[in-house]
Structures are given as structure tokens and as C-alpha cells.
Amino acid sequence: MRRVPVLNIALFVVTFFTTVVVGTFHAMNISFDSSADLTRFLTGLLHDPLKLSRGLPFSITLMVILLSHESAHYFASKKHRVLATLPYFIPAPSVFGTLGAFIKMKSPITTKNALMDIGASGPIAGFVVSVLACAVGLSMSKVVPVAAVTDGFMFGPSLLFYGMAKVFLGNIPPDYGVSMNPIAFAGWIGFFVTSLNLIPIGQLDGGHIAYALMGEKHAKMSKVLIGVLFVMGVVLYEGWLVWAVLLIVLGFRHPPIVYSDIPLDHRRRIVGWIALAIFVLTFTPIPVMVA
């Protein structure tokens, strides 16, 4: 008899709730750094809990993006007979309502082809859903003066998000920005999460892909890229300093695979380069700015 994954289900439910709350904050233009706004919001919920329904478009879209990413990893692992857990979602009191989700590998990965399938499947699946979310959300978004931003934060665009904004909203004048529809905001987060996972360092998804493509050369590249993150943390965005330290703690080396002599096939090599191109398109050098 199969054991019910109680922890996985509980974390999913809690993360759904935290993202609904955060989605409601954004939908109601509540400032995250205003204790008065937060107090009024919480008091209002006691009288009208249905206000939380305004956070559902954001929450459902973001949860689908994260679930597609982790499910793709899970099914790729099953295909290659690698033991893996069901997804664990991570709720968080942050501007996103979550720190993402992950699955845990419980047996070694055997070949470079399996490593590529498992590493690339999640980001590509999440990316496809994120593109759809951005397309739908941007078609319902507005261009507004930067001075009209009221929630205390501005979110920087990746190359792809900037291009899609131009397609759906036209040229954006100086001192103007995009007031993102909740679905577009979830898509933006999807791009951001995809790019973080695709950084080709250590055991991130991008690290799996780089190791499958480059073998042991991947360790030297990881060291260089961690240095780049430190520089970006000093020059552009302090969050990259935290990310660089975390990656050092997690380790920049990739564990060896079982049958390292079996080469990566041509089709999977193409998939790897496509995934790294997605990283370039979705990477946001300055993701968050205080408005």
C-alpha cells in the first residue's frame, strides 16, 4: 500500500495560500513596506474573506508554472529509473509568496543523456508555461508612469520579457513602466525562476546541463561564474551576493555519473544549448528595485 505524501500535500496547500495572499496584495496595490496598509488589509479580510479571490489568477498561474517545472523533472527521472521524490513546495512571506519548489534525487544518475533529460526538462517545461502566462497577462497589462507605482517595488525585465512587452504594449516611453496584470507577474516570476535554475553552476539544473555538455570542465566554469555573481552583487543587485554565497555552500562541483564513458547524443546536445539560450533570454540582471 502506497504511503500518502502528507508533507508534499501540506506544503502545496500552504504555498497555494501564501501565493493567494501575495496575489491579493498586488491586485489591491497594497504596499509591502507599509504596516498601516497591511493592518487595514488583514482587518478587511476578517470582514470579507472573499477578497482573497482577487489573488487566485496570480496564485494559480504561478503554481502551474512551478508544478510543470518539477513534474517534468519527476517524469524524466522516472523514465531513466532514477528514484526521485514528489515536488516539495516552499511557502515564504515574500513578494512572491514562495521560494519555489524542488524534487530530491534518491539514486545516482547513470548517463549524460539521462542527466540532460532530467536537468533540462524542468526549466523548458516551466519556460513554455511562463511564455504563455506572459502573453496572456501582458495583453491585459497597462503602461503607466513610474511615479504611479504604489507597492514599493519595481521588477526589471529580462530580454524576452522586454521583447514581449514591446509586442503586446508597444514602445514604452522614458519614465514609464508596465503595470503587470497578476498573470503577467506570475509569468515574470516564471522567467526569473527559470533563469536562476539554469545558472550553469554546481548542481542547479544549469549545472546538470553544463556537466553533461562539458564534463569536468564544468567545475572551472562554476568558479568563474561564482566570481561573476559576486561582481554583479557589488555593482548591480545585492541579492546576487547572497546567491553566490549559497552556491559556494552547496558546492560548485557536480557529482560524477555512473557511466561517464557513454557520450551525450546529438539531439540532447541541441537540447542543452537550447536550455542555455533560454537562460540568456530570461536572465534579469537587476530583478528587483525599490520604487
Position 242 in a domain = no
Position 198 in a domain = yes
Position 241 in a domain = no
For the chain, 291 residues long, the average pLDDT of each consecutive 10-residue run is: 83 95 81 64 73 91 97 94 93 87 89 94 96 95 75 80 93 83 95 95 90 86 90 91 88 81 91 95 88 57
Position 204 in a domain = yes
pLDDT recorded at residue 151? 55
E strand or H helix at 138, and its extent? helix 112-138
pLDDT recorded at residue 65? 97
Q: What angle do CA 60, 66, 72 make, to 5 degrees?
A: 125
Q: What angle do CA 203, 184, 207 make, to 5 degrees?
A: 10
| Domain region containing 270 | 6-215+254-290
Position 229 in a domain = no
Position 235 in a domain = no
